[in-house]
Amino acid sequence: MNKFTLLQKLRNKIRVSSGTKLSIAKGVKFVNCDIRIKGKDCSLIIEKGAVIRSTQIEILGDGSQMIIGRNCIIGHNSYLSAKEGKKLLIGADCMFSRNVKIMTSDGHPILRDKIVINHAKDIFIGDHVWLADNVTILKGVTIEENSIVGINATVTKNVSSGVVVAGNPAKVIKEGINWSE
């Protein structure tokens, strides 16, 4: 288990439950982040080369898990949330712009006859995915590798490899693409 360095603790607001599994690769850069992990058997893994700026990371509920792959860049004012024992898995070499929101749950339960009807769902983002400004990814979505999500898009359904999606809700607008920084 790699703990946060003193410098990381000084530059970020970090609140972590005891028993949390942490694996923060050496050299990971994050500044002005708000990291909150609350629950039993939660885990946060941030792989080598990740750069995270002014982002809120929430991992709440027993067994919730978040993995941020190697060489990912996550822009200012983003919000990453894994709740209710679900997983948020981000592949390698992803680039997320500003104000990106990724949530495995709706945030609050919706009840019908005293039974929760809006359970959380895992989110999987493949390698080399680019999310533009103000993108929202909702629960249960898989975005396959080499894809792009356009500005202000809300992704409610799975995204195939090598496509550009845009709109609210997001729809495929180009196929057979790849991208580079």
Kindly report, residue by residue over 106-119, the tens digit of the pLDDT: 988 999 999 999 99
- Regions of the chain short of the pLDDT cut 50: 1
Q: What is the pLDDT of residue 2?
A: 64
What's the CA gap between 167 and 135, in Å, rounded?
10
What are the tokens at 56? 């809120």
Residue in 171, 167, 97, 155 with CA at minimum distance from that of residue 121: 155
- What distance in Å separates the CA atoms of residue 99 and residue 75, rounded to the nearest whole number? 7
Q: What pLDDT is stored for residue 3 in this prediction?
A: 76
- Locate 52 and state its tokens: 């995270």
Looking at residue 7, its pLDDT comes to: 85
Q: Token digits for 159?
A: 């995204």
pLDDT tens digits, one per residue of 67-85: 999 999 999 999 999 999 9
Contact 12, 37 (CB under 8 A): no
Q: What is the dihedral of CA 101, 94, 170, 33, to 10 degrees?
A: 10
Stated length of the chain: 181
- pTM for the model stands at 0.95
| All structural domains of the chain | 6-175 (2.160.10.10)
Cβ(74)–Cβ(52) below 8 Å: yes
